Chains A and B, each alone.
Chain A
Amino acid sequence: MQRIEVLGPGCTRCKETYRVVQHVVETAGLQVELVKDESYERMAALGLMATPGIAIDGKVVVSGRIPKAEEVRHLLGIS
């Protein structure tokens, strides 16, 4: 099962990013583990330096911006 992490210290942009990812996962009925991580330790470990960020299976795929739903679908391999 894929593990999707949405990373950010809890600002509005991070919440918006989580909402976008959640929406995509739910509408596609995807079986994934979706977590929101607000710890700086995790961001440092992943090498993420701009928030919001998204990591799939421990690999940063989005950093420092709110992605659009289409991009998230593409990243998760739904098209």
Chain B
Amino acid sequence: MTTIPDTESKPPELTQDRPLLRLAGGILAAAIAIALYTQLARIAEFITYSVIRLARGSHLGSAVEFFLYEVPKVLLLLVGVVFVVGLLRTWLTPERARRFLAGKRESTGNVVAALVGIATPFCSCSAVPLFIGFISAGVPLGVTLSFLISAPMVNEVALVLLFGLFGWKVAALYLGTGLTIAIVAGWTIGRLKMERHVEPWVYTMQAGEAPEGAPKLWSERFAEARAAVREIVGKVWPYVVLGIAVGAGIHGYVPTNFLASFMGKDAWWAVPLAVVLGVPMYSNAAGIIPIVQALLGKGAALGTVLAFMMSVIALSLPEMIILRKVLRPVLIATFVATVAAGILVVGFLFNAVL
């Protein structure tokens, strides 16, 4: 094998040079990251109390330690998970999802659509082409909506933050209840037979099918996963750092149980209020979770907190405005009402049970 001296003109992702070396480098980087991850609590403690010499048990010390521990932890987790999901997404494309869902019956279709939504790439500017693509391929309206609820709500960034800051139980609860809402809300809208509230031009669309490209090489899949990390982590990290900074302030300075009176279990109106407050908040989902985590530590109830996060992520005003191009107001209102009702049930249920 000859080496080309001019590395500038050579597309590195597209050549198969030294795949073993690259793989070894990747494994080494992962090993260092895992080793670092396990030592983060000690490192944060050491820096806070031995290097900066803050007093143990002080407000500032507690806030700084929290920040120094949580920021690298969440960012490391985020890089790892976004990479793995990015890799999975090179197989699970919206085109495949559509082909898969086109032949499904309604109830099974809702379940499959919600599951497929977890790992399918989605940004709200893709909502309209995706909607048209699904509808024109004969995917039922309710099934399409199950997908459109699940895809943004149950996503890897939210799950990483929940896992990193709340632990696996809350992350699993969020995953399970989020999927349930997507399935039930989509199924309900399917039962309501609201096809006539879709803008009629959608049905007149001449839908094509994108050809399946050449099978991808592993090196291309890895390159796409790395690109996903750059794009997603590159976009959300300032929100994560800012969110954790505010969370650290709450963690260090707000007295424990301060919030119990108005965000606690006994305040029945807290859940609907959390849902309403969540609607206008949109791109700051990555920043809201760290803040909410700190609130939970100060006496806010888990159901209220879950409802707030789901509302922030699933019911976004910009997405509704984008969807208005294909859905009539009645259908948008039904969509919002059904999802909001699901979130309310989740909020009340967890406040009652836990």
Tell me the bound Cα distance from A49 to B122 in angstroms: 10
Q: Which of B128-136, B173-181, B302-310 contacts A (4 or more CB under 8 A)?
A: B128-136
- Given A74-B14, A79-B11, CB of A48 within 8 Å of CB of B121: no
What B residues does A43 contact at CB under 8 A? 129, 132
Tell me the bound Cα distance from A40 to B204 in angstroms: 12
Least CB distance from A4 to B in Å reads 16
Say yes or no: B132 contacts A46, CB within 8 Å. no
What A residues does B207 contact at CB under 8 A? 44-45, 47
Say yes or no: A74 contacts B11, CB within 8 Å. yes
A-B residue pair count with CB separations less than 8 angstroms: 97
* Chain A CB within 8 A of B195 CB: no
* Chain B CB within 8 A of A59 CB: yes
Say yes or no: B13 contacts A64, CB within 8 Å. no
- Given A9-B128, A43-B129, CB of A73 within 8 Å of CB of B98: no
- Given A44-B207, A49-B94, CB of A65 within 8 Å of CB of B126: no
A41's nearest neighbour on chain B, judged by CB, is B205
30 examples of A-B residue contacts, CB within 8 angstroms: A9-B128, A13-B125, A14-B125, A40-B128, A40-B132, A40-B325, A41-B206, A44-B129, A44-B132, A44-B136, A44-B205, A44-B206, A44-B208, A45-B207, A47-B207, A47-B211, A48-B129, A49-B95, A49-B126, A49-B133, A50-B126, A50-B129, A50-B130, A61-B213, A63-B94, A63-B210, A64-B93, A64-B94, A68-B13, A73-B11
Say yes or no: A50 contacts B94, CB within 8 Å. yes
Tell me the bound Cα distance from A66 to B186 in angstroms: 31
- Given A49-B98, A70-B14, A79-B11, CB of A64 within 8 Å of CB of B125: no
Say yes or no: A45 contacts B130, CB within 8 Å. no
* Chain A CB within 8 A of B23 CB: no
What B residues does A13 contact at CB under 8 A? 123, 125
Given A65-B224, A70-B11, 4 other A-B residues pairs in contact with their CB atoms under 8 A: A47-B208, A48-B133, A68-B227, A73-B11
Tell me the bound Cα distance from A71 to B132 in angstroms: 28
Residue among B205, B206, B208, B325 with the highest chain A CB neighbour number at 10 A: B208
Least CB distance from A3 to B in Å reads 16
**How many chain A residues have a CB neighbour from B under 8 Å?**
30
Say yes or no: A47 contacts B123, CB within 8 Å. no
What B residues does A46 contact at CB under 8 A? 208, 210
Which of the four size classes fits the interface of chain B? Answer: 35 or more
A79's nearest neighbour on chain B, judged by CB, is B11
What B residues does A51 contact at CB under 8 A? 123, 125-126, 129
What B residues does A71 contact at CB under 8 A? 11, 13-14
Least CB distance from A20 to B in Å reads 12
Least CB distance from B34 to A in Å reads 27
Say yes or no: A66 contacts B231, CB within 8 Å. yes
7 A-B pairs with least C-beta separation: A70-B11, A47-B210, A49-B133, A11-B125, A60-B210, A47-B208, A49-B94
